[in-house]
Amino acid sequence: MDRILSLFVAVDALSRRFGDALILIAFQATDGAGAEAPTATGTPNSLFQQLFGNPLVFMMIAFLLFWFIVIMPQQRNYRRQQTEMAELRNNLRKNDRVVTASGIHGVVVSVAADVGTVTMRIDETNNTKMTISREAIAKVIRDEAKSEGNNA
C-alpha cells in the first residue's frame, strides 16, 4: 500500500512539473502486462502512430526526398559539366576560339601542356597576345556553320 501511495505522490509531482504528457509516458513505460499501452483516448497505439507520430521522422523523410529530388541530380549535372569542360581544355588546339572566365575573347596561338598555360591572340590588328592558365578558359567556341558547310 505504501508503494502505491508513493507512486501516486511521484506522479502528482511530475504532473505539476511537466504536465500530463509525462504521466502517459510513465504509465506506458511501467505497463508490465506486455500489452500495448492505451493513448489519451483509450485506444491502443497503432504501428502508424508509433512510427509517424514523431515529427523528427517527418523531417528525416522530407530531407531524404529533398536530397533525392533536388541535390543528387544537381551533383550529377555538375560532375558531368566539369568532366566535359576538362575534356575541352585538354583538347585545345591552335586557332580554337575561346572565352576566358573574365569574358575576354581570343584565338589560341599555342598551348603549353607541361606548364598548363595557353597563349591566345586578343587583337587581330595589333597582334596582341596574352598568356593565361588553362583553367581560366570558360568556353570553347566551335564554328558549327563552317563544319556544316564542309559537310554539305
pLDDT by position in tens, the chain (length 152): 555 655 566 666 666 666 555 445 545 444 444 445 555 555 557 777 777 777 888 889 999 999 999 999 999 999 999 999 989 888 888 889 999 999 999 999 999 988 889 999 998 889 899 999 999 999 998 776 455 555 54
Q: How far is it, in rounded angstroms, from Cα 82 to Cα 18?
A: 56
Cell numbers for 85, please give them. 569542360
Q: How far is it, in rounded angstroms, from Cα 90 to Cα 82?
A: 12
Phi and psi, residue 117, nearest 5°: -120, 160
pLDDT at 34: 47
Q: Is the pTM of this model over 0.85?
A: no
Dihedral of CA atoms 148, 113, 121, 109 in degrees, nearest 10, equals -60
Q: How far is it, in rounded angstroms, from Cα 72 to Cα 9?
A: 55
